[in-house]
Amino acid sequence: MRAGSLKQRAVFEAPTQISDATGGVAIGWVRRAEVFASIEPIGGREAIFGNQPLGEMDTRIRVRWSPALSAVSSSWRIRHGTSIYSIVRPPAEIRLGRREIELMCSSGVNAG
């Protein structure tokens, strides 16, 4: 992977359970890593949910492998600026040897 293609700053976050004021449990997000990434939109679609049009964008995100990202799973999310990407497919190591990780993500309609 060429360093020039890693232009965007991406923050990887993992879900964690936190207690709320009423004694219940809510999902919070803990920052696990902040790395440079290549973020490439692939395609999108629109759908109508409850008489409201919503858009969704499929995105490929590539990063260099690091120990901080060795535990990344599809339950994590990625933030880039104001965009939140849900990981929709388990990470794939490209060119094995712990060099590069490719993540297929979705933004728009997500629980992030």
Query: Looking at residues 33-46, what average pLDDT do you find?
Result: 87
Which CATH number does 3-107 carry? 2.40.10.270
Domain boundaries, the chain: 3-107
| pLDDT on residue 68 | 87
Question: The pTM is what?
Answer: 0.80
The pLDDT confidence band at residue 30, using thresholds 50, 70 and 90, is very high
Over residues 58-104, the pLDDT tens digits come to 899 999 988 888 888 889 999 999 999 999 987 876 665 678 888 99
Residue reference for tokens 């990063």: 63
